[in-house]
Amino acid sequence: MIVEMKKGATREEIDAVVEKAKSQGLDVQLNLGTDKTVVALLGSNTGQLPTDIFAVLPGVESVTRIMKPYKLASREFKPSGSKVSCSGVEIGGERIIVIAGPCAVESEEQLTEAAVAVKKAGASILRGGAFKPRTSPFSFQGLQKVGLELLAKAREKTGMPVVTEVVEPKDVELVASYSDMLQIGSRNMQNYSLLTDAGRSHRPVVLKRGFSCTITEWLTAADYLLAEGNSVVLCERGIRTFEDSIRFSMDISSIPVLKRFSHLPVIVDPSHAAGHYSLVPAIAKAAVAAGADGLLIEVHPNPKEALVDGLQSLSPSDFTRLMEELKTIAKSVGRYI
Amino acid sequence: MIVEMKKGATREEIDAVVEKAKSQGLDVQLNLGTDKTVVALLGSNTGQLPTDIFAVLPGVESVTRIMKPYKLASREFKPSGSKVSCSGVEIGGERIIVIAGPCAVESEEQLTEAAVAVKKAGASILRGGAFKPRTSPFSFQGLQKVGLELLAKAREKTGMPVVTEVVEPKDVELVASYSDMLQIGSRNMQNYSLLTDAGRSHRPVVLKRGFSCTITEWLTAADYLLAEGNSVVLCERGIRTFEDSIRFSMDISSIPVLKRFSHLPVIVDPSHAAGHYSLVPAIAKAAVAAGADGLLIEVHPNPKEALVDGLQSLSPSDFTRLMEELKTIAKSVGRYI
Amino acid sequence: MIVEMKKGATREEIDAVVEKAKSQGLDVQLNLGTDKTVVALLGSNTGQLPTDIFAVLPGVESVTRIMKPYKLASREFKPSGSKVSCSGVEIGGERIIVIAGPCAVESEEQLTEAAVAVKKAGASILRGGAFKPRTSPFSFQGLQKVGLELLAKAREKTGMPVVTEVVEPKDVELVASYSDMLQIGSRNMQNYSLLTDAGRSHRPVVLKRGFSCTITEWLTAADYLLAEGNSVVLCERGIRTFEDSIRFSMDISSIPVLKRFSHLPVIVDPSHAAGHYSLVPAIAKAAVAAGADGLLIEVHPNPKEALVDGLQSLSPSDFTRLMEELKTIAKSVGRYI
Amino acid sequence: MIVEMKKGATREEIDAVVEKAKSQGLDVQLNLGTDKTVVALLGSNTGQLPTDIFAVLPGVESVTRIMKPYKLASREFKPSGSKVSCSGVEIGGERIIVIAGPCAVESEEQLTEAAVAVKKAGASILRGGAFKPRTSPFSFQGLQKVGLELLAKAREKTGMPVVTEVVEPKDVELVASYSDMLQIGSRNMQNYSLLTDAGRSHRPVVLKRGFSCTITEWLTAADYLLAEGNSVVLCERGIRTFEDSIRFSMDISSIPVLKRFSHLPVIVDPSHAAGHYSLVPAIAKAAVAAGADGLLIEVHPNPKEALVDGLQSLSPSDFTRLMEELKTIAKSVGRYI
């Protein structure tokens, strides 16, 4: 952590910074420039210290953090990449894992049809929403417990593990009792109560990126889950920008950035970013080429009749065609689906 | 809602749109342009209908919503401005209400000192965080129930109503039993379970803007609270942009925009936007001049020793000086503090 | 164009809108809803009409544009994709075109070394900056005319066409006399004098996206060039967002969006987006998988000694390795390099 | 400048950084942490050095700039605030300067009517566009030289100095021969040729903020003008964000930030940010309360007939009413209009 003093800061002001640092167990090195004094604070936990405790002192111009604020999620903490097992399906290995299924579980028939189709096309894990956080209070809110039961049934029929979103701390236990993996949605990435409770569950967690959160904030949120001993898969799903031709801008660069700074597996959700089925294939292909460890794709047996997000859902035949293309691209980057 | 058909869309495709619209109880008017057909869908609930159900049909180029997706929060629903009462303190009237106090309740002494100081300077409501959502799992998480008790004590001593944040649905009842008003934080603006539960409490709610949510999304979130019969005060607290010299960019324009499109009172939190005490006064003054109905300002008896966000907190003497300036500005726009 | 009237708009106010529309040669259809009147304006040029001329009329609540504001760049104007020839190298065909070379031309030796290396690795066009727009007035501003001469020499030696940036209208003619293709940089995307003059030159233009411009604004800028009869290659180079781990966020989704709405070829510059050589390969691969028609990659014989942007430049050996990977990915999407 | 070495960086790698620093005339201080080595580079010109020259070296994890990249525009360079004289009207003093007039000069009658009205209401400087950069090639591009002549005439009649935009380097001399102050528009903030030429003119320059440029980039652009010996007034005009209810989000916080980091006067253009006349007054008032030294407001004798941007223009009577309100607010912050 670097404390830049104001031009003309007094000896007393500099001393106060040094003292504060020492009280936090930090080593201090004074760099006396011609114009200004710069104080370097050294220690293994400077990433976790708030910069405010120095910035608030008189004579301080700025405080710059050099160490990252996250720890357990960092590549430095664990130089080799992590693999996460979802009931036997390994995410983060050579195989690229495709998770597919409908946005919302609507009925046994709809879910079964989707499950059978995506399995046949090569998906490894079934997704489906039982609890739906909706922007309008007047919209369909999901089948909830019934939805979870239908997911469990679909797992029995197809043998695929299932993943579903949990939106409230009080539901963690219930959802974990049905689902092989928990999903924490974009709007809950910084819902710390939910993170802590999901961290304590016995199910691995897919942590979606908050649509306006930086990668640093995302990895810091992952620390919440990792601190409880759980394992985490990161899911990039697009960020909010000024561009209005698409629902969210897919931040494809986050894949190499995460691979550089973190050991966690990274999957990509092209459906929520695109908002339109016609844009999903290009984004999915880009993600595989850029090094993603998996994809999360919405597939509905009949998108025109979907209760939620039909426009971004692929039909089974479109999904099957896309999977063939993705297999070729996976091969071209030394992996397989 | 306007459905633009693709150039060369067939009669059958147009008919399918018309049929779908009629099945939703909408009136339809066909506008046959030279190049393209445009279908206007008319009805009183088109704001609440998802555009997807039309966009997914074959031959459709785009669907544009004309009506706003929120209803209860709209100025059209209630042309005169709303006033919200917080245990007798009216927000939304001629008086500009200043809510002040420490970011986090740390101790009885700290809270009392802050409460006495802000009351003396002219604040009407006391704020203080008991449950603190923190970006790092290793940070101070608030005094929780003890914090609530200290807030109640401070209310007794000073006669000021108190407002504090609730971060989880399960805590709504507890917090509502101590606090005169509930605050829903920026990261929870779209936490729909929390909105629903807070909506059902018997306390008015301060709904902070999600730091990357549009005004339309904000008002739609307010609909969740209003749908349960509760009353709502909106709190602008800055948005995330590319600018990095300040923590969040204060969206001052949201004040006149909200006044135009909504009947709800609007207050402004300059402290979280600024992130630095030296920037708080200018933003607070701008808010009053722009028409805000109140302010939410962090004040700490000793910012240098604050456990949370000391850098953005004003000292009692800085706050007192600012209040004097704000009173003059309030007067210059025909109001008072 | 859709004009929504205010609730309670008078007959006279509606008539004034209708009259204004007719004076612009538009057809009008009134949609009388239960609550509000909505006026649909029909005509082939509504995309080019400013919405303001209606929004400013009394009783108007909002004006929504349905048609796109660009015309010549639209896919509707030319349903099949365009191909652009750069001195015989065709951009927009089955072959993916790689343009490579140093950020700035520094010396004959440096440029030649780069040119020979990128050609050997499979690049088709040589890039190199002679006029450098720099954020600081104290930085290296490019070799200017000498740089152009060195580019021409390098073309002679290698047989590769060259592309270089033009930053001022007065230089268009000079640059066009040396370069096979003109590049208009991100900061000049809306420099309309430059667009008009470059449009009149006899060289095709690579139009980089303004780093904060929407796709709609980009295609509207392309209309400036196309209106003068020139041909255009679009170059996506990343957009400014809140994410700070990378210089610009690569907007990978713009590739399928552009393919849907425009007939122009699209290339991608991963180097400027990344800002760091280690992130370039993943972005380049993603671009090819997503359907880009080409790439623009910075290569420097010795990045450590580069005068400009060394950090984002690949060394010849890194570039050669990347090209091998790109060739495999190109093949997997049915194309070649 | 702080160079963070990778964990496990070798002695040779550290030495190479030290050597590079010394070759640039910098002092070096090594901070050997337990985990990592951090190299502090000290010198008076580290703000102007590109970080790349260190980041590109092997073993370097990150390079963080502590000093600002601008110099002449900084408050440190000139601790007291600057005042800029526009033909006798002083900007940056106790008086808040209002610059007003039509977006585009359309005719002698229109300009005269506007000029007389704004002068009567208390404006000090007349604005009017002669050269108009337009997003569509099919829009009105301004009266150009005739527009300049009309501005000069209006100055004669009213005695007010005039300011108008220059969009191309080649026009600088012409525009400077008619106008008392030059305006550089948002899209040209990083047009370095234009900055250099305008810097060399004998007219002070109003430098509008690029709508997606950081304050740091803005002040660095101002350095271009100051380096040529010219004087500069900064004009905040709103930034591009995700919010879509307004054209640009007014970054009100930039006022106190600029006052802290720069000595240059700051004015605010509420018209372009708002895009709608009904939002202009609130933003203008906020700007004055926040400490702006002036305003730039569009006024048109008949907004309904304006050729450009009529929707954001105030009518003379609306402007007169606003000026009365602004005078009261100015007084409340210890200034006058």
Q: What confidence tens digit (pLDDT) does each residue in A157-196 have?
A: 999 999 999 999 999 999 999 999 999 999 999 988 899 9
Subunit contact D42:A40, Cβ cutoff 8 A? no
Q: How far apart are CA D289 and CA B284, in angstroms?
A: 9
pLDDT in tens, B115-125: 999 999 999 99
Model pLDDT, residue B282: 98
Among C56, C13, C69, smallest CA distance to D312 is for C56
pLDDT greater than 70 at residue B113: yes
Which subunits sit against D, judged by 3+ Cβ pairs under 8 A?
A: A, B, C
- Give the Cα separation of C241 and A257 in Å (integer): 15
CA distance D153 to chain C (A): 27
Q: Which of B215, B243, B260 sits opposite D278 (nearest CB)?
A: B260
What's the pLDDT score for residue D137?
65
Dist CA A237 CA A218 (whole Å): 12
Q: Which residues in chain C are contacts of A278 at CB distance < 8 A?
A: 256, 260
Chain C residues closer than 8 Å to A329 by CB: 289, 329, 332-333
pLDDT exceeds cutoff 80 at A106: yes
Cβ-count burial D149-178 (b if 16+ within 10 Å, e if not): ebbeebbeebebbbbbbbbbbebbebbbeb
Structure tokens of C66? 């349905």
Burial of B8 (0-12, 13-18, 19+ CB in 10 A): exposed
Q: Which pLDDT score is estimated for B34?
A: 65
> Cβ C304–D57 below 8 Å, yes or no?
yes
How many residues does the structure list for chain C?
A: 337
Q: Residue A136 pLDDT > 70, yes or no?
A: no
From C282, C285, C274, select the one nearest C312 (Cα to Cα): C274
3-class secondary structure for chain A? Answer: CEEEECCCCCHHHHHHHHHHHHHCCCEEEEEECCCCEEEEEECCCCCCCCCHHHHCCCCEEEEECCCCCCCCCECCCCCCCCCEEECCEEECCCECEEEEECCECCCHHHHHHHHHHHHHHCCCEEECECCCCCCCCCCCCCCCHHHHHHHHHHHHHHCCCEEEECCCHHHHHHHHHHCCEEEECHHHCCCHHHHHHHHHCCCCEEEECCCCCCHHHHHHHHHHHHHCCCCEEEEECCECCCCCCCCCECECCHHHHHHHHECCCEEECHHHHHCCHHHHHHHHHHHHHHCCCEEEEEECCCHHHCCCCHHHCECHHHHHHHHHHHHHHHHHCCCEC
> Which residues of A fall below an 8 Å CB-CB distance to C?
212, 214-216, 238-239, 241-246, 249-257, 259-261, 273-274, 278-279, 281-283, 285-291, 325, 328-329, 331-333
Closest CA to A84 of A255, A252, A205: A205
Residue C136: its pLDDT value, please?
A: 66
Beta strands B89-91; B60-64: pairing state: unpaired
Q: Are D307 and D104 in contact (CB under 8 A)?
A: yes
The DSSP H or E segment spanning D158 is helix D145-158
- Residue of chain A whose alpha carbon sits nearest to that of D75: A7
Residues A306 and A103 sit within 8 Å (Cβ to Cβ)? yes
Nearest CA in chain C to B40: C31
Q: Answer whether D64 sits within 8 Å of A66, measured CB to CB.
A: yes
Question: Which H or E element spans position D297?
Answer: strand D294-298
- Cα distance between residue D91 and residue D74, in whole Å: 18
Select the residue of A44, A66, A76 nearest D2 (Cβ to Cβ): A66
pLDDT at B135: 66
Overall average pLDDT of the B175-197 stretch: 95
Considering only the beta carbons, identify the residue of A31, A64, A242 that sits closest to D240: A242
* Distance in angstroms (rounded) separating the CA atoms of residues A112 and A117: 8
Contact assignment for A283 to C243 by CB distance below 8 Å: no
Angstroms from D327 CA to nearest CA on chain B: 9
Q: What are phi and psi of C161, to 5 degrees?
A: -65, 160
Query: What six digits make up the tokens of C302?
Result: 């010795």
Taking the alpha carbons at both ends of chain A, their separation in whole angstroms is 44
Which of these, D164, D163, D224, lies nearest to D189 by C-alpha position? D224
How close D54 gets to chain C, by Cα (Å)? 9
pLDDT at C174: 97
Nearest C-alpha neighbor of B86 from the set B221, B213, B257, B235: B235
pLDDT exceeding 90 applies to what percent of chain B?
Answer: 81
Interacting residues of D56 by C-beta distance below 8 A, sequence separation 6+: C277, C303, C304, C306, C310, C311
- The more confident residue out of B310 and B113 is B113
Q: pLDDT by residue for chain D (337 residues), tens digit each?
A: 889 999 889 999 999 999 999 999 998 988 776 678 889 888 877 888 888 889 999 999 999 888 888 999 999 899 999 999 999 999 999 999 999 999 999 999 999 999 999 999 999 999 999 998 766 666 777 899 999 999 999 999 999 999 999 999 999 999 999 999 999 999 999 998 899 999 999 999 999 999 999 999 999 999 999 999 999 999 999 999 999 999 999 999 999 999 999 999 999 999 999 999 999 999 999 999 999 999 999 999 999 888 877 899 999 999 999 999 999 999 999 999 9
pLDDT at B137: 66
Mutate to test the interface with B, among C42, C45, C77, C260 (most CBs of B within 10 A): C42
Q: Helix, strand, or coil here: B173?
A: helix
Cβ contact (<8 Å) for D42 and A38? yes
Segment B4-15, tens digit of pLDDT: 999 889 999 999
- Note the pLDDT of residue B33: 67
Could you give the C-alpha distances from C2 to A26, A115, C17, C57, C193, in angstroms and in order?
Answer: 63, 42, 11, 14, 32
Nearest CB partner across the interface for A282, out of C242, C256, C329: C256
Which residues are bridge partners to D89 per DSSP?
A: D86
On the question of pLDDT at B59 being above 90, the answer is: yes
Q: Distances from the Cα of A167 to the Cαs of A129, A161, B141, B214, in angstroms? A: 11, 20, 21, 22
Distance CA C92, CA C84 (A): 7
Residues of D in contact with C170 (CB under 8 A): 169-170
State the smallest CA–CA distance between residue C217 and chain A in angstroms. Answer: 10
A175 φ, ψ (degrees, to nearest 5): -65, -40
The contact set of C with D (CB < 8 A) is: 48, 50-53, 55-57, 69, 133-139, 167-170, 187-188, 190-193, 195-196, 211-212, 217, 220-221, 223-224, 227, 240, 276-277, 303-304, 306, 309-311
ipTM: 0.94
Give chain A's contact residues with D (Cβ, < 8 Å): 2, 4, 7, 27, 29, 31, 33-35, 38, 40, 42-44, 62, 64, 66, 76, 212, 240-242, 244
pLDDT of B136 higher than 70: no
Residue ranges for chain C with pLDDT beneath 70:
33-34, 135-138
Amino acid C35: pLDDT: 74
Q: List residues in chain C touching A: CB distance below 8 A.
A: 212, 214-216, 238-239, 241-246, 249-257, 259-261, 273-274, 278-279, 281-283, 285-291, 325, 328-329, 331-333
Beta bridge partners of D97: D294
Whether C31 sits inside 8 A of B43 (CB atoms) is no
Contact B286 D251 (CB under 8 A): no
Instruction: Flag if A40 and D40 touch (Cβ within 8 Å).
Output: yes
- Tell me, what's the pLDDT at D34? 65
User: What's the whole-model pTM score?
Assistant: 0.94
Contact B304, B310 (CB under 8 A): yes
Q: Give the chain A residue whose CA is nearest to the CA of C210.
A: A243
Q: Could you tell me the two tokens for A134?
A: 């909706």
Least confident of B29-33, B68-72, B148-152, B202-206: B29-33
Which residues in chain D are closer than 8 Å to B287, comparing Cβ atoms?
286
